Chain A
Amino acid sequence: MKNLISNLDKTFESRIRLGIMSVLSVNETYDFNSLKETLQVTDGNLASHLKALEKAGMVQVEKQFINRKPNTSYSATEKGLAAFKQHIAALENLIGMH
């Protein structure tokens, strides 16, 4: 049992972070506003969780201008994808499904 839980990644403990990784694991990139709409969270909340994931090396940020408006898009890093995969496997193990 101890082993099972140790596979759960602390970085993904929050639902919002799980949500962010879920979106980024199946989409190459996603911009900030679309993430906000998909996950239905506030600006500040989303930004702080994205920052944490970025710091942990799970996501990378790309800032650019589209029609002179700043646009920030996010993508999962290889490390992030691997960690997320492992996290899901650990969750599935916990509820006894493979």
Chain B
Amino acid sequence: MNNEINSLEDIKAIRKIMEESTRFLSLSGLSGVLAGVTALAGALIAWLFIDDAWSLMVVAAAVLVVSLSFAFWLSVKKAKREGKHFWTPVSRKMLVHLFIPLVTGGILALVFLCQGNIQLIVPVFLIFYGLALVNAAKYTLGEIFYLGILEIITGLVLTIFPGWWLIGWLFGFGILHMVYGLVMYGKYGR
């Protein structure tokens, strides 16, 4: 009997260590909600004040930087609260896999901007951001995968209807993030 209990505890410990050493699980759900709010604010600024593509690019970059900062800050706090480290081989892997498509998309958007293909900028952001999430999902909460797929679909639809870029931005970066963040918040806590 004693043996049985020990074995069960061993198995539990093994599973936990396997999961924790391959996935970064302290990703904050609240930061998803904040990313959505930031994107909505960015869209509002773009809609009210922006009439050229370069300024739009600056607003988009600002939204990205603010959202990522929230995500870093809240995830570091969450990791600390759970008694875990933020900077681990897994979180590094996750970031590398996140940033390769993200940076590629950013450069591509800049190239399109310089060439005057401005209607493709927001779709490119959405598509490559989605690819980045799908890519990083292997190393963090699996749900990110589905968020990524939805971002890609939104981006692809937007390449067909580029005139709807503001709605695409609101939906892809605003609504989807807020819904995702709330679901994660409910499931895994702050």
Contact = CB atoms under 8 A, between A and B. Distances in A.
Query: Contact residue range for chain B?
Result: 10 to 19
Contacts of A18: 10, 13-14
Interface in B33-82: none
Interface size class of A (residues with CB under 8 A): 20 to 34
A62 B64 CA distance: 39
A38 interface: yes
Given A27-B21, A95-B7, A22 B88 contact: no
B85 A37 contact: yes
A25 B21 CA distance: 10
Nearest to B21: A23
Interface stretch (A42-50, A52-60, A75-83, A86-94): A86-94
A30 B21 contact: yes
B97 to A, nearest CB: 15
B112 to A, nearest CB: 37
B16 to A, nearest CB: 8
Contacts of B107: none
B8 interface: yes
Contacts of B21: 22-23, 26-27, 30, 38
B18 A22 contact: yes
A34 B88 contact: yes
B81 to A, nearest CB: 16
B88 to A, nearest CB: 6
A22 to B, nearest CB: 4
Given A15-B10, A19-B13, A38-B88, A26 B4 contact: no
Interface centre among B4, B10, B18 (most CB of A within 10 A): B10
A26 B20 CA distance: 10
B96 interface: no
Contacts of B186: none
Interface string B71-105: 00000000000000100110000000000000000
Contacts of B20: 38
B89 A95 contact: no
A31 B14 contact: no
A94 B3 contact: yes
Interface of B: 3-4, 7-8, 10-11, 13-14, 17-18, 20-22, 85, 88-89
Interface of A: 5, 15, 18-19, 22-23, 25-27, 30-31, 34, 37-39, 88, 91-92, 94-95
10 contacts: A5-B3, A18-B13, A22-B21, A25-B18, A38-B20, A88-B11, A91-B10, A92-B11, A95-B8, A95-B11
